[in-house]
Structure 1
Amino acid sequence: MTIDPVFGDGYAMQRIDLGADAEGPLVATLVHRLPERPDSVPILVGHGWSDYVLDRELLEHLAARGLDVWALDLRKHGRSLLPGQTPTEIDHLNRYDEEIDAALRIIGRDRPPIMLAHSTGGLTAALWAVRHPGTIRALALNSPWLEMHLGAAVRRLLSRPVSRLAGRLNPRPLLPQGVEHYARSVPRDYGGLYAYALALKPPGGHPFPADTFAAVIDGQSRLESAGPLAIPVLVMHSARSVFGMEFTEAMRRADSVLDVKVMAEAAAQLGPDVRIEAIEGARHDVFLSDADARHRAIEVLDDWLDVVLTGRHTMSGRGSKTERIPPVSSSSEGAG
């Protein structure tokens, strides 16, 4: 392992060799907060589409809770994007099994981690958990892209034509870069609160490869038909979505990327032990929100972690929220 060039001292980076595809060598990048804490519960943090793991303060907070903190940049994302590669390109979400499996092997097979993932990474993490029971302890999802805008009917309508286009275009873009509404609220370069590399997480995202879009639709279809997850699940999202071609101030305190109503409905079907929390004032990444919403998101995560780490679950019926258990203690003071 070497020092992580993004987070610097205190964080080690390890390349995971994934062979090659038509664009050349493939790697993923596993980041670990030092020192190693093999006696504590590990947590593995993942990113969304056109994204990378960038929130050092969140990782520091998790470490302060006593967790052994790891993070994974998937192939063709962030730290793992190599020259000449099409950013975010993948033809099937199951291909990410290689780097997830390698990361879990490095963390330790006898130490199933909690997994915390965002947006498209949340879909990938949920699919992994469904297909590999027993490999992770619990699943926390930050605005996961579990379903297409407007719901399953739209996804089914799009599935065949998108799949055909992906067969012709492959890694070439199906969708261009999006509007920069989300970026108007988040990065410091645009007057936001958070510093990160816009080359790795560009305003509007990278152009969306056709085969990646088809892979997401396929993953959502497979998740819909999958059996329930037997592990505790937390799903956090903004209290509302605001869309539009023109930027409005309301977008600063809403999800301007995904439909939170559809997201919550899909989340309720993940299993019998699902806690769904709408965070007032949150953006698409609830942890990259204004201070009050970020603080509330961390407070909710802490409360859920207290329950997961002590095993005090109150199970309700499939598709419903977990019965609420009063917080034991919060270690999120000042974390926002």
Structure 2
Amino acid sequence: MTGGWEQDVLGRPFERLTLPLGSDQEGEVVATLVRLDPPRLASLTGPLRDVDVIYLHGWSDYFFQVELARFWASLGARFHALDLRKYGRSLRPGQTPGFVTSLDVYDADIAAALEAMGHPLEGPPSRRRLVMMGHSTGGLTATLWASRHPGRLSALVLNSPWLELQLGTLGRQALSPLVQMRARVDPMGAHPVVDLGFYTRAQTEVGALPVRGYRREWRPERGFPTHPGWLAAIVEGHRRVSAGVDAGCPTIVLLSTRSTNPFAWNAEMTGSDSVLVVDDIARAATRIGREVTLARIEGGIHDVFLSRPTPREQAYLALERWLIRGVFGRSRGLRRARASG
């Protein structure tokens, strides 16, 4: 760890910790952990007072969702967000933003973050329960990580996870050999720009942006350029999901009820997912575990927690109900029954 905890760009009471991960051909590699502790009363009496949360952002993204952090903290949880290598706070000059050739690379980022949170992967699990939350590409990464680390998570929360390519299963299968071949020949080659900035515009239209501490250079309006080596890693992740994985814990998938064509601006983008084909994601969600809850949010955008106030409130209510009345309420009831028995 480098330099200990310090004040984050989001301002007090958010803090950040730099996690060194060695180096590669582009120089020093780090991840960055951001934390928000719950208010004292919530930490003592909140329904999630024994829960730690780690959040993984999506592609061309970083953590800035202050309201989301405060939601978890208000329930008593210790909230943490991880800016993965070459994203956001972890992006260093001269690095290719977000570039990896396998999503498994992020195991090192997550392991370093969990160590700092008191959840080391070596040895017995912490007494505190661990929840992983992932958005979009972070949702795909979180799902695959959970399937490789059974028993580590008490719950998995997925916010519009990128579980399938926008071309659908058949389209992905047809495209995959070409993607893999180009990744071998020209991993850092250029792709055509497909992000026209409409998703960022939709967030601005609904009032989700800007927020305190927002850095456009960490989240450009039209996204970072993509490369064949990175796309091959994504397609391989989709192949694994399609073949079936087991997150090994109760999982909730929050999604908009509908998608919108991303290549031409229209007002419907402020109340729909203009990034993913949500019905394909809903189908893919049936292949990530044995206990999966699907919550479709009317009027939600790609990040449902950045939607207009009404769908955003619906998303928070669905998540809170699932956590307190479902996953953690049930486990507490079982523990009480065992104790009284």
Q: What TM-score do the two structures reach when normalised by structure 2? A: 0.86
Return the alpha-carbon distance in structure 1 between the equivalents of residues 330 and 87 of structure 2.
34
More displaced, 120-129 or 39-48? 39-48
SS at match of 1:8: coil
The partner residue of 2:302 within 263, 284, 299 is 284
Q: As a proportion of its length, which structure holds more helix?
A: 2
The partner residue of 1:119 within 136, 143, 153 is 136
Return the alpha-carbon distance in structure 1 between the equivalents of residues 278 and 194 of structure 2.
22
Q: In structure 1, what is the equivalent of residue 37 of structure 2?
A: 34
What displacement does 1:108 show?
1.9
SS at match of 1:186: helix
What displacement does 1:180 show?
1.1
SS at match of 2:35: strand
What displacement does 1:298 show?
0.7
Q: How many residues align?
A: 311
Q: Would you say the 8 A contact 2:162–2:281 is kept in 1?
A: yes
What displacement does 1:157 show?
1.2
- Percent identity over the alignment is 39
Return the alpha-carbon distance in structure 1 between the equivalents of residues 15 and 220 of structure 2.
25
Q: In structure 2, what is the equivalent of residue 148 of structure 1?
A: 165
SS at match of 2:253: strand
Task: Give the letter for the 1:19 counterpart.
Answer: G
More displaced, 172-181 or 97-106? 172-181
Q: Aligned ranges for residues 1-336 of structure 1 at < 5 Å?
A: 1-34=4-37, 40-109=50-119, 110=126, 111-176=128-193, 178-187=195-204, 192-195=207-210, 196-306=214-324, 307-311=326-330
SS at match of 2:203: coil
Q: Considering only aligned residues, what root-mean-square deviation do their CA atoms show, in Å?
A: 1.9
What displacement does 1:239 show?
0.6
CA distances 1:270-305 after superposition (whole Å, capped 9, x unpaired):
222110011000000001111111111111111111
Return the alpha-carbon distance in structure 1 between the equivalents of residues 299 and 245 of structure 2.
33
What displacement does 1:178 show?
1.4
CA distances 1:246-281 after superposition (whole Å, capped 9, x unpaired):
200111110000000100000022222110011000
What displacement does 1:221 show?
0.8
Distance 1:312 1:191, change over 3 A: closer
Return the alpha-carbon distance in structure 1 between the equivalents of residues 52 and 180 of structure 2.
37
What displacement does 1:244 show?
4.4
What displacement does 1:142 show?
0.3
Q: Would you say the 8 A contact 1:3–1:10 is kept in 2?
A: no
CA distances 1:70-118 after superposition (whole Å, capped 9, x unpaired):
1101001111111001111001000000011111122123134101110
Q: In structure 1, what is the equivalent of residue 335 of structure 2?
A: none
Return the alpha-carbon distance in structure 2 between the equivalents of residues 286 and 75 of structure 1.
24
Q: Would you say the 8 A contact 2:206–2:307 is kept in 1?
A: no
Which structure 1 residue ranges, 5 or more long, are not aligned? 314-336
What displacement does 1:53 show?
0.9
Distance 1:261 1:77, change over 3 A: same
Return the alpha-carbon distance in structure 2 between the equivalents of residues 229 and 244 of structure 1.
30
Task: Give the letter for the 1:211 counterpart.
Answer: G
Q: Would you say the 8 A contact 1:18–1:26 is kept in 2?
A: yes
SS at match of 1:133: coil
Return the alpha-carbon distance in structure 2 between the equivalents of residues 175 and 95 of structure 1.
25
What displacement does 1:145 show?
0.3
What displacement does 1:57 show?
1.3
What displacement does 1:224 show?
2.3
What displacement does 1:227 show?
3.6
SS at match of 2:201: coil
CA distances 1:193-219 after superposition (whole Å, capped 9, x unpaired):
322322111112111122111100011
CA distances 1:26-75 after superposition (whole Å, capped 9, x unpaired):
10001111379696210111100000011011101110111111110100
Return the alpha-carbon distance in structure 2 between the equivalents of residues 251 and 59 of structure 1.
25
SS at match of 1:114: strand
What displacement does 1:158 show?
1.4
SS at match of 2:163: coil
Distance 1:131 1:4, change over 3 A: same
Task: Give the letter for the 1:282 counterpart.
Answer: G
Task: Give the letter for the 1:59 counterpart.
Answer: A
Which structure 2 residue ranges, 5 or more long, are not aligned? 120-125, 333-341
